[in-house]
Amino acid sequence: MYLLQAAKVAGVSSAMFLGTLGMLVLVIGLVIFIIFHQRKVLRYQLQLQKFEQEQQKVLLDASVRLQEEERQRIAADLHDDAGPLLATARLYLTENLVNQDKATQLQSIFQARQILDDTIQLIRNISHSLMPPTLKNFGLESAINDLAQKISGSGSMNASSRFHDYKERLKPEKELLVFRIVQELINNILKHSNSSFIHITQNVHGDNFILRIHHDGRGIVQADFDKLNKSNIGLGLKNISSRLRVAQGRIYFEKDPSQTYYKVTMEIPRGDYLD
């Protein structure tokens, strides 16, 4: 009887020991899993943070490069165009002017005035190229409609645009980026595609501003765009890519399944917009 009880106690003790050991192993395993999981999460967060920093650097570099390109273009316009005009006007207004007869003086003053008017118009054009008045005063829809009307008015091509959902405007700096991209795309179409029409449409999908350009001339598909971006040519396309990175947008080049026209689709996160 005593031996039987001793055996039962030993069995219970063994069971408790094994149970405790199992629980201990389970707890240790859980702790190890949590530690490894936390380390994995930490590594992921560090990688994500590094990626975000790299993306911010890319965006900053693209923004700086675009600004520098704009400055160089303005400097070139002022140096090559405004500089000679002002120098020529100065020739007409030299100190010898007072020693000339009245008719010659009037002619010189008239010529200088004409040159100064041309210089004023040149500077106004440079100012408008930085921020088109229609875009500044009335927004992206009006600016693109105005651009399409000017193209059609030239008689070289039929151009049209239609905005379907632009009740909430993008921020001015984002509107300017989109407008510059549209200008660059249309400029390429005018120069290289031999199209008979350009049609621009806009809508909104979720939180994305969508703008499409359709044309029936020669065009490129996405593979061509990616290839040109990696080459030493296609500066205009590289400018498009830089502006898209700043706007955190995407662009797609494709040929319609009907094979009758090309389509360029731009997606820009609306993010902050004007109320």
Same structural domain for residues 119 and 184?
Answer: no
**Number of domains composing the chain:** 2
The predicted pLDDT at position 263 comes to 93
> In what order do the strands lie in the sheet containing 208-215?
158-163, 197-205, 208-215, 262-269, 250-255
Residue 180 has a CB neighbour count (10 Å cut-off) of 18
Which residue matches tokens 């662009």?
251
Q: Structural domain of residue 57, as residue ranges? A: 2-128
Q: What does the pLDDT look like over 3-50, one tens digit per residue? A: 555 555 555 566 666 667 777 777 787 778 778 777 877 777 777 777
Same structural domain for residues 116 and 139?
Answer: no
Same structural domain for residues 136 and 259?
Answer: yes
- Say if 118 falls within a structural domain: yes
Same structural domain for residues 23 and 103?
Answer: yes
Same structural domain for residues 255 and 218?
Answer: yes
Of 110, 128, 146, which residue sits at a domain end?
A: 128
Same structural domain for residues 112 and 215?
Answer: no
70 vs 185, residue with greater confidence: 185
The predicted pLDDT at position 65 comes to 64
Contact indicator for 259, 271 with CB cutoff of 8 Å: no
- Say if 72 falls within a structural domain: yes
- Please tell me the distance from the alpha carbon of residue 239 to that of residue 267, in angstroms, as a whole number: 16
Q: What does the pLDDT look like over 132-173, one tens digit per residue? A: 778 888 889 999 999 899 888 877 789 999 998 888 888 888
Q: What does the pLDDT look like over 45-102, one tens digit per residue? A: 777 777 666 665 665 566 556 666 666 677 666 766 777 777 787 777 775 677 778 8
Of 72, 104, 128, which residue sits at a domain end?
A: 128
Q: What does the pLDDT look like over 241-257, one tens digit per residue? A: 888 888 888 999 999 88
- Say if 243 falls within a structural domain: yes
